[in-house]
Structure 1
Amino acid sequence: MNKIEELIEQLCPNGVVFKDIETLINNKSVSTITPPRKLTKNFYQTIGAIPIIDQGQDFIIGYTDNEEVIIDKGLYVIFGDHTEVFKYVDFPFAQGADGIKIIKTNPSVIVSKFLYYALNSYYIKTGKYTRHFSFLKKTFIPIPPLAIQQEIVSILDKFTTLAVNLKDELQARTRQYEYYRNELFNFEGKEAQWETMGEIGTFIRGRRFVKDDITTEGVPCIHYGEMYTHYKIWAKKAKSFLEPTLAAKLRVAHPGDVVIVAAGETIEDIGNGVAWLGESDIVIHDACFTYSHSLNPKYVSYYLQTNLFRSQIKKYISSGKISSINAPGLSKARIPIPPMEEQERIVGILDKFNTLVNDISVGLPAEIQARRNQYEYYRGKLLDFKSISNG
């Protein structure tokens, strides 16, 4: 019998009372507080003494030095009224913009962090962008004795710490990956020929098709939006397909070509590529180019992510609501061409880093997901109490 089971046996063998948040507010077990003032986005700073908390996914959205807006240190559960995001805050902060509820507990009834974990488990998200506090108030949560609440918090905190440590490691590995990627393409003093991409290959723009044209089977295709949401360095299988009659009118990338995205909402979006390593041709969208060449395809794809390449194409990108680059602009970018053996060595090194930081099946992201699943499983088990009437 573990410690929680022993405490339940001693303190609440018949079950615990479940109460909705509205009842807890009415009986003063829970309260909401109003900040001195809310900060709009134009007052957010990138550095400052006071963190700014809003309802977005990012835990801290910015900083301020304005002490007039500070909310004193306490133990708070933050609820995003529109986004349904929960945050636990135990330090002084400022409220950013609108749309959050700042919840405080009566510590003689509810441990603040227990409330945070319980709401994450019992609140059912609607997924709609509307006000949700009325839904939150109807949420029932268990109210076990304080000793049990504290033990549950202690266990779940350990899972959270493990996940945070993994995320920190992932960020460090990602920075290391980016450093080595840039360094491996620095051929100063090494054997490498430099050519423009236009001199050693050809760019062909795809032809237009729309999302409604996409089917679940047929001829494989790449829509430019998928270059941001689905494809990474290389691919052997397509996510989407087109009817053969339509596909016959469009343009394709051949196996070994690199598909390069040529349009996006920001300059940073432009120029990313995916090496197509499938067994057959693949149709490409008109916001993409296929680049045919005689290099290692993944070598080219990795090069497209380097600071060196991106700094070269930046001046050829036309910015606006949608930023874009044309074939002449891409053609002017210079690329180092070492012997094929060296290209393969570089690809081998970067493949290992890429797997570690991006592969959701075997790398750090997979381990983070496994920890998240484990945390959610145990959170559900630990908060699964037998209910008794309010008496």
Structure 2
Amino acid sequence: MSELNYLEKLLDGVDVEWKLLGDASFFEIANNGRKPVKSSLRIAGKTPYYGANNIQDYVDGHTHDGEYVLIAEDGSASLERYSIQYVTGKFWANNHVHVVRGKTRVNSRFLFHYLHIVNFIPFLTGGVRAKLTKGQLIEISVPIPCPDNTEKSLAIQSEIVRILDKFTELTAELTAELTMRKKQYNYYRDQLLSFKEGEFEWKALGKIGEVRMCKRILKSQTTSEGDIPFYKIGTFGKRPDAFISRDLFNEFKGKYSYPKAGEVLISASGTIGRAVIFNGKESYFQDSNIVWIENDEKIILNKYLYYFYQIAKWGVSEGGTIQRLYNENLRKLEIPVPFSGNPEKSLAEQAKIVRILDKFYTLSTSITEGLPREIELRQKQYEYYRDMLFSFPKPEVAEA
């Protein structure tokens, strides 16, 4: 059965009318109860205190009690994926959210799912902090199947909610599993990198290899497009937003230090200690702000270093506007080397630790494998069916 036939079967020939959120016979806007409270004046309690994007605190008392949909008034983290929250029971709403719910003819959970596909940008006003005023909120239209037959309308809405909730429940379960796996990964990482007395030796990184860095690239030498990605602190571990020419890359790579595939790059400023394993693809890195240890893998495995860096206590120098990890601090950082008197046994132990942590890391972090990938697929599946189930024909002018 095609998706269109399924939707047609669900509607069973009934009409769909578009109703504005300002239509008081279908929707309630309960903004009057909202009450912002400064964090210093909030009384601690068990009631969730909602802001534009999430729960900000837990307080005593409440402003609302029931099933509602919260729509950001201003401060949404994303304008394209506008902040919509679903709440039940007692809660406290501040003045950065509109508090809305369906009346007897509208399932509030149906409203919640539908609002996720609304393009809010045309309804927003203001500059830097775009705002959805109540005057614009009430102009947003919502599809209501068979509005003159409440029982049939609610049955159709409930079926759509049932289907979409199955996907959101699965995503929530996978997300909870991912959180547990990350805790498990952190636990085993910390345990595996803790050794019994006599089974390891502390060695300074300066004794393992030399601190290296690329030659400085001037801003005037970079472009917004080009052949070779150039990574600065702000884009380290992310997508680059600057590039250099291939000629400059070849010149600097030939004259100055350049990492080998597998070596671990470290942020020495800003996000101090962030580590990325260099994949060997052609790219260039910002001078002294991104460094690495040119170590001998016959003594210390790169991947072992990478995992240790995640729990290292970096010797950060104070002073100045921005803290940084100077080379001397990095050289002094000590790393536990298992069975250092027996290189063969040491490398075998390091490799064993890496194998175990790789499995946990892949499951909890990889965007191409494991739970993150599964969550992404389930979210796309939810969005596909949500868009299909709300593909009602829309008239040019919404009915009030």
Match of 2:101 in 1: 104
CA shift for structure 1 position 368? 0.5
Match of 2:380 in 1: 373
Structure 2 CA distance for partners of 1:346 and 1:210, relative to 1, 3 Å: farther
Match of 1:54 in 2: 51
Match of 1:32 in 2: 30
In the alignment, is residue 296 of structure 1 matched against residue 297 of structure 2? no
**Root-mean-square deviation over aligned CA pairs:** 3.0
> Within 2, Cα distance between the matches of 1:78 and 1:137?
14
In the alignment, is residue 8 of structure 1 matched against residue 11 of structure 2? yes
Match of 2:79 in 1: none
Give yes or no for contact 2:264–2:293 (8 Å, CA) kept in 1: yes
Structure 2 CA distance for partners of 1:226 and 1:346, relative to 1, 3 Å: farther
In the alignment, is residue 218 of structure 1 matched against residue 227 of structure 2? yes
Q: Which segments of 5 or more consecutive residues in structure 1 lack a partner in the other structure?
A: 231-237
CA shift for structure 1 position 175? 0.6
Aligned partner (choices 151, 158, 168) of residue 150 of structure 1: 158
CA shift for structure 1 position 116? 0.9
CA shift for structure 1 position 379? 1.0
One-letter amino acid of the counterpart of residue 64, structure 1: V
Give yes or no for contact 1:4–1:152 (8 Å, CA) kept in 2: no
In the alignment, is residue 91 of structure 1 matched against residue 86 of structure 2? no
> Within 1, Cα distance between the matches of 2:373 and 2:308?
26
CA shift for structure 1 position 219? 4.3
Structure 2 CA distance for partners of 1:254 and 1:188, relative to 1, 3 Å: same
Structure 2 CA distance for partners of 1:228 and 1:7, relative to 1, 3 Å: closer
Give me the TM-score of the superposition, normalised by structure 1: 0.82
One-letter amino acid of the counterpart of residue 330, structure 1: L
| SS state at 2:111 partner | helix
CA shift for structure 1 position 286? 3.1
Match of 2:138 in 1: 137
Give me the TM-score of the superposition, normalised by structure 2: 0.80
Match runs of 1:190-339 below 5 Å: 191-206=199-214, 207-210=216-219, 213-214=222-223, 216-219=225-228, 221-229=230-238, 241-244=243-246, 246-247=248-249, 248=251, 251-255=256-260, 256-264=262-270, 269-278=271-280, 282-294=284-296, 295-306=300-311, 309-310=312-313, 313-314=314-315, 316-318=316-318, 321-338=321-338, 339=346
| SS state at 1:331 partner | helix
Structure 2 CA distance for partners of 1:358 and 1:216, relative to 1, 3 Å: farther
| SS state at 2:378 partner | helix
Identical aligned pairs, as a percentage?
Answer: 29
Give yes or no for contact 1:18–1:387 (8 Å, CA) kept in 2: yes
Structure 2 CA distance for partners of 1:327 and 1:105, relative to 1, 3 Å: same
Give yes or no for contact 1:253–1:276 (8 Å, CA) kept in 2: no
Match of 2:17 in 1: 17
Moved more, 284-293 or 361-370: 284-293
Structure 2 CA distance for partners of 1:333 and 1:209, relative to 1, 3 Å: same
Give yes or no for contact 2:229–2:243 (8 Å, CA) kept in 1: yes
Structure 2 CA distance for partners of 1:318 and 1:246, relative to 1, 3 Å: farther
Structure 2 CA distance for partners of 1:182 and 1:240, relative to 1, 3 Å: farther
